[in-house]
């Protein structure tokens, strides 16, 4: 009988640890992940090839902005959309479906 009670206590402790583990993972994912917009605005981007909207992009001013959906604006006028972003490059798509590439030149890694 004591053996069964001990096993039940051990099972409850294991269940509590597993639950706590998943709660910690969930909180980390919610608060530890930057949005695409935050990753782009924390970096500086140098022109690579293709569609050109500037030699050096920095999304921290009124002149060049990006919204939550990845649309890029120059002086409030829509000019392109972010197609893909990763640690090394930013891929943009113009209104006429021209693709342009910009390279991440930031000293800090936002990813």
34-92 confidence digits (pLDDT tens): 678 888 888 999 999 999 999 999 887 778 999 989 999 999 899 999 999 988 999 99
pTM: 0.66
Residue 25 has a pLDDT of 73
> Does the structure show a pLDDT above 70 at 102?
yes
Residue 19 has a pLDDT of 84
Long-range contacts of 38-43 (CB under 8 A, 24+ apart): 38/110, 39/85, 39/110, 39/111, 40/66, 40/82, 40/85, 40/90, 41/66, 42/106, 42/108, 42/110, 43/90, 43/104, 43/105, 43/106, 43/110
Residue 49 has a pLDDT of 97
């Amino acid at each position: 009988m004591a053996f069964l009670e001990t096993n039940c206590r051990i099972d409850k402790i294991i269940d509590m640890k597993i639950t706590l583990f998943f709660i910690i993972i969930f909180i980390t994912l919610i608060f530890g992940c930057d949005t695409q917009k935050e990753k782009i605005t924390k970096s500086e981007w140098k022109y690579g090839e293709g569609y050109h909207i500037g030699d050096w992009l920095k999304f921290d001013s009124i002149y060049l902005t990006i919204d939550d959906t990845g649309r890029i604006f120059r002086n409030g006028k829509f000019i392109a959309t972010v197609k893909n972003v990763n640690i090394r490059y930013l891929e943009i798509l113009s209104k006429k479906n021209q693709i342009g590439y910009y390279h991440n030149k930031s000293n800090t890694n936002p990813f």
